[in-house]
Amino acid sequence: MSEPGKGVNAGKLASNVQKRITRVQEKMMQKLGKADETKDTVFEEGVANFNKQMAEGTKLQRDLRAYLAAIKTMHECSKHLQECLSDMYEPDWFGKEEVDSITEDSDIVWEDLHQKLMDSALNSMDTYMAQFPEIKARIAKRDRKLVDFDSARHHFASIQKAKKKDEAKTAKAEEELARAQKVFEEINCDLQEELPSLWNSRVGFYVTTFQSIAALEETFHREIGKVRAELGGQRAGGLGQGRASGRMQVKALHDYAATDNDELDLKAGDVVLVIPYINSDEQDEGWLLGVKESSWLQNKNLTAKGVFPENFTQRL
């Protein structure tokens, strides 16, 4: 004895197979020109726009993922380089702890950029693209229901044209036509409203996305620039101190009163950490650039650096 559930499933399967056969027959008749096909040029234009929008969005999503992966790679490369430089920075040089702290700050700036791009750009992009598969499936369903409607319409017309009238068959065909038309029009009306709205939404979405990326990049470059400037200053000072064994520390033998804003005031006995010029052409003969050891120990930065006459000092 067969189970009731199996009978129902078999009947539904047979009905679905018959639907597919009917659709294939209808499409074949339409292609051969033996049956007219319902056309909607406005809807077809909407579908073309939908496909274009989906393709553009897919490319933007893919490129955005690649951009984030590149940022992650740049972050790792920058991190390894900073770690390398920190390892080279000898523990007894001034500012060792500050250099390590600035390296950590750099790491935070990179991570902040990546996370904010994920939150404001990629996640929004994923949400935007998530709507396309469902709409695409409904468009395909709408196309199938349109074929069903055309098939029912042609079947009803053929029965009406028959010489021998059969009221029962005519009523059944009319009922099937009405049902097919209702199903088609329901999904068609929804899509007629949604597709233009979706197409118009792309402009605002693209503007918001690219503005967000631009703002985050601007903030990142500003913040990472500050960190690197601090890091460069600390390392320059550390290198100056690191050369102490090479007699790059000097002691003031006499007082010196600065006569310009870029000069250093000295009192006899002051110890000065000499900072090498990045560009040797900027150095005037007989003058050195440095920062007082006392100022460095107190502030751990080079804001108080200045030039001073070498002949007022003695190397240690």
Of the listed ranges 5-9, 168-172, 243-247, the least confidently predicted one is 243-247
User: Which one of 234, 265, 298 terminates a domain?
Assistant: 234
Q: Which structural domain range is residue 228 located in?
A: 39-234
Residues 174 and 201 in one domain: yes
Question: What's the confidence (pLDDT) of residue 234?
Answer: 52
Encoding tokens for residue 267? 């009192």
Residues 138 and 274 in one domain: no
Residue 196 has, within 13 A of its CA and on its CB side, a CA count of 7
pLDDT of 247 > 60? The answer is no
Question: What's the confidence (pLDDT) of residue 275?
Answer: 84
> Quick check: is 32 in a domain?
no
Q: What's the average model confidence in pLDDT over 176-184?
A: 91
> Quick check: is 25 in a domain?
no
> Quick check: is 23 in a domain?
no
In this prediction the pTM is 0.62
- Which position has the token pair 């950490």? 273
Encoding tokens for residue 9? 């499933």
> Quick check: is 166 in a domain?
yes
Residue 181 has, within 13 A of its CA and on its CB side, a CA count of 11
User: Which one of 208, 234, 260 terminates a domain?
Assistant: 234
Domain with residue 271: its CATH number is 2.30.30.40
Domain with residue 172: its CATH number is 1.20.1270.60
Encoding tokens for residue 92? 């007894």
> Quick check: is 104 in a domain?
yes
Bridge partner list, 272: 250, 292
User: Which one of 234, 258, 290 terminates a domain?
Assistant: 234
Residues 93 and 183 in one domain: yes
Residues 120 and 267 in one domain: no
Encoding tokens for residue 250? 């000097």
Q: How many residues does the chain have?
A: 316
Please give the backbone phi and psi of residue 264, each rounded to the nearest 5 degrees, phi first.
-110, 130
Residue 130 has, within 13 A of its CA and on its CB side, a CA count of 6
Count of domains for the chain: 2
> Quick check: is 20 in a domain?
no
Taking alpha carbons only, the member of 257, 254, 296, 256 closest to residue 273 is 296
Question: What's the confidence (pLDDT) of residue 164?
Answer: 82
Please give the backbone phi and psi of residue 94, each rounded to the nearest 5 degrees, phi first.
-65, 140
Residues 219 and 76 in one domain: yes
Residue 229, amino acid: A
Residues 177 and 203 in one domain: yes
Of the listed ranges 10-24, 269-283, 289-303, the least confidently predicted one is 10-24
Residues 136 and 214 in one domain: yes
Residues 148 and 185 in one domain: yes
Residues 256 and 228 in one domain: no
Res. 272 pLDDT band, cuts 50 70 90: very high
Question: What's the confidence (pLDDT) of residue 239?
Answer: 46
Res. 81 pLDDT band, cuts 50 70 90: confident
Q: Which residues contact 33 (CB under 8 A, 6 or more apart)?
A: none
> Quick check: is 31 in a domain?
no
Residues 90 and 205 in one domain: yes
Question: Are the beta carbons of 121 and 212 closer than 8 angstroms?
Answer: yes
In the chain, which residue ranges form alpha helices assigned H by DSSP? 4-31, 41-88, 96-117, 123-129, 131-161, 167-242, 293-299
Residues 202 and 261 in one domain: no
Please give the backbone phi and psi of residue 84, each rounded to the nearest 5 degrees, phi first.
-60, -45
How does pLDDT run across 209-235, given as a tens digit for each residue? 999 999 999 999 988 887 777 665 555
Burial class for 199, CB neighbours closer than 10 Å (0-12, 13-18, 19+):
middle
Residues 181 and 74 in one domain: yes
Question: Are the beta carbons of 296 and 275 closer than 8 angstroms?
Answer: no
> Quick check: is 1 in a domain?
no
